Amino acid sequence: MLNFPVEQKVCEIGGVKLGGRPGEYPTVIVPSIFQKGDKVFEGKKRKEGFDEKRAEDLLKTTDKLAAETGIPCMADIVANTGEEFKRYIDFVTSVSDMPFCIDAWVMKPKLEGAAYCAEKGLLDRMFYNSLTVWEKDIETEIKEISDTGVKHVLLVAFDQEDQMPTGRITGTQKLLDAIDKVGAHFESIIVDTSVMNGPATALCSLSNKLIKEKWGFPCASAPSNGSYMWKAAREMWGFKGWAGADAALEALAAVMYHDMIFSGPMAGSPRIFPAVAMADAFLATLVFGEEKRLPESKEHPIYKLFPEFIQQLENI
């Protein structure tokens, strides 16, 4: 479970490290802001702006939780146009020092968002979300972001013909081949293995293990995509019951081969950060039990939240 035949790559984005061997660094949580339905737009249309006070509270609460738990955070900035990206990037960077990604469904606004980050000197702090296997003009997209100077990219790997973990290997290889064909180079490559529903996040964990064994890349997925589509849970158990299931799914992913988790709306941070912090402490203890190895980072949740237990382990 803990050892791989290839060196495990460590990426650093805006001062946040991710990847490496299991338990080496804390899981990075990437909650979204400005996504469709975000309450910062409540009572407004997107073009009319957003509630800046609510957005600032979300960002500051998430920063506070990250500091308290030792779980690093990055903002998933979602936009539909390049102009939206400019407004949202300016706002997020004025309120918080957290790294961030630019997230759009189609290529044009992503390219415009990346170009704006280059103009503002933010490329060290930003990762590109994302290069996908379903983009028809993927080589053009890769060349554009490479020429822009993008340093950190997320690959979304999925094969509709093979929805088992092997299909994520095929999808990753297709994207790597396209990067090679263009002659692009990126400092960091992270692979997102595409959640289909809640329990199928287990297939992402298995996919991530295969990717780590083959290439050593840091790996991610969005368990929240699965939990948020599980409407029946809210009908049966209400918000609290559903929220428990959501937090459990994120925590399970953190233990099983996820260096980064896309956790859904930033409003969920108060339940997600403690859940993932406990999961990371669990994984760190599992690693110690197997290898007598403690996390590299002293900011890891097991050091921040369980200092007395750390002293016990260090004396064993």
> What is 24-314's CATH superfamily?
Dihydropteroate synthase-like (3.20.20.20)
Question: For residue 43, what pLDDT band results from cuts at 50, 70 and 90?
Answer: confident
pLDDT score of 310: 97
pLDDT at 147 over 90: yes
Contacts of 107 (CB under 8 A, 6+ apart): 135, 137, 140, 141
Question: Element (H or E) spanning 87, and its range?
Answer: helix 82-95
pLDDT score of 160: 82
Pick the closest to residue 249 from 195, 190, 213 (CA basis): 195
* Cβ 142 vs Cβ 178: under 8 Å: yes
45-68: average pLDDT = 96
Pick the closest to residue 280 from 42, 8, 112, 66 (CA basis): 66
Q: What is the pTM of this model?
A: 0.97
pLDDT in tens, 88-125: 999 999 999 999 999 999 999 999 999 999 999 999 99
168-183: average pLDDT = 97
For 32, how many CA atoms within 13 A lie in the half-sphere containing its CB?
20
pLDDT in tens, 11-39: 999 999 999 999 999 999 999 999 999 99
Pick the closest to residue 100 from 119, 83, 77, 82 (CA basis): 77
Q: Which two tokens stand for residue 38?
A: 């975000």
Lowest mean pLDDT among 33-47, 234-248, 253-267: 33-47
